[in-house]
A = this chain, B = another copy of it.
Amino acid sequence: MVDQHCHGVRRDDPPRSGFEQLVAEGGAPAPPGTTHFDTPAGAAIRRWCAPVLGLEPHASAAVYLSRRAELGAAEVNRRLLRGSCVSAFLVDAGPESPGLLGPAEMGRLGGAVADEIVRLEEVERDVAEAGLPAVGYAGALRDELAARAARAAGLKTVAAHRRWPGSDLFRPSRGSVIAAAGRRLADPKARLADPVLARHLLWAAADVARERSLPIQIHCAFSEDAHGDGASGDAAFGDADPARLTGFVRALAPLGVPVVLVHCYPHHRQAAYLASVFPHVYVDAGLAVALTGAGSAHILRELLELVPFHKQMYGSGCHGAAELCYLAALYHRRGLARLLAGRIAEGEWSVSDAARIAHMIGSANARRVYRL
């Protein structure tokens, strides 16, 4: 199985509060008197990850965390990453953090190959902080994108998540980019917020992606607050409906650059529709699978209502906690197996078709699109 979209997990053993925040969206602590273990993901960790650490299913949170500390982060990560039975990880290293495993380490611990996905906003920040004159911004960005892309399996943007560009996501003029770069370079530490530069970054990335035949992942729906980079500081969740990307996706079509819509929940049906209409659009259910745990089968079922079998991929979207990686893989397999068994039992799909569909979604589509 190919996990076409994940992040590094923490290399150390977090305290309870830190662990709880890793397994909940938003990055905030649970209200007083409650715990993030009382969530679908928390229940799933106690049910399915506990046995991987040698505990009974449904072990209490305290017992789980105590056993986790006893084994140590390296052993826990090794068990959970290997247990996910993933043979290739594509890792968005995101904002670099010494506390998170890099792609090579993810591969080594997980017994898998690993490739890097370049986060566009990180490249842009590096360029903005380099102290260039505004007139050199676009060229430096292009060069840096090309250099980073040369050793990567794909590109990824969280721009769509921050604020959907909507239908006016056209390529900005050279003059407007220079003007905007001037403002940007006066405060390079700030998060990229200028809409002209956000559009410019997407189109510069699209050019590089075309040259190198790389896909671009677009983060939809789920917030990145949990990732600690404050990315969604001013975005409304509702802005993240991938349907709002229709105009951008249509404009990208002539370039032939594959676009992978990741996460997407609760707008996964809209993502499936885009994948069914545009030849270059792909989807995964991302972090929604691990976070909804026992409820995830229904989400996969909805995604599969419309998505062509050659357009869906597996991507855990996990970040920080190897538990999420394990759960995503487990529930992907279980949910898909249950759906396929149902389709076979109803006489809808033949056994060989069902096997072929599972293979396409689990690995073949990703191997084709990322040229693994």
Q: How far is the CA of A100 from the CA of B247 in the complex (A)?
A: 30
A26 within 8 A of B: yes
Q: Looking at the assembled complex, report how far the CB atom of A256 sits from the nearest CB atom of chain B, in whole angstroms.
A: 9
Is there contact, CB below 8 Å, between B295 and A47? no
**How many copies of this protein are present in the complex?**
3
A333 within 8 A of B: no
Inter-chain contacts of A238 with B (CB < 8 A) = 241, 243-244, 246, 270
Instruction: Tell me which residues from 33 to 50 in chain A have a Cβ below 8 Å from any Cβ of chain B.
Output: 33-36, 38-40, 43-44, 47
Inter-chain contacts of A309 with B (CB < 8 A) = 38-39
Q: Looking at the assembled complex, report how far the CB atom of A292 sits from the nearest CB atom of chain B, in whole angstroms.
A: 4
Partner of A43, one of B26, B57, B278, B353: B353
A304 within 8 A of B: yes
Partner of A349, one of B25, B294, B347: B294
Given contacts A38-B357, A299-B305, 20 further A-B contacts (CB under 8 A): A25-B273, A28-B277, A34-B308, A38-B309, A38-B360, A40-B305, A43-B348, A58-B349, A58-B353, A167-B236, A225-B277, A235-B246, A237-B274, A265-B269, A276-B291, A291-B306, A292-B305, A294-B348, A295-B301, A298-B305
20 A-B Cβ contacts within 8 A?
A30-B279, A30-B310, A31-B279, A38-B309, A39-B308, A43-B353, A57-B347, A57-B350, A166-B236, A236-B247, A237-B270, A238-B244, A238-B246, A238-B270, A266-B269, A291-B306, A292-B305, A294-B349, A295-B301, A295-B302
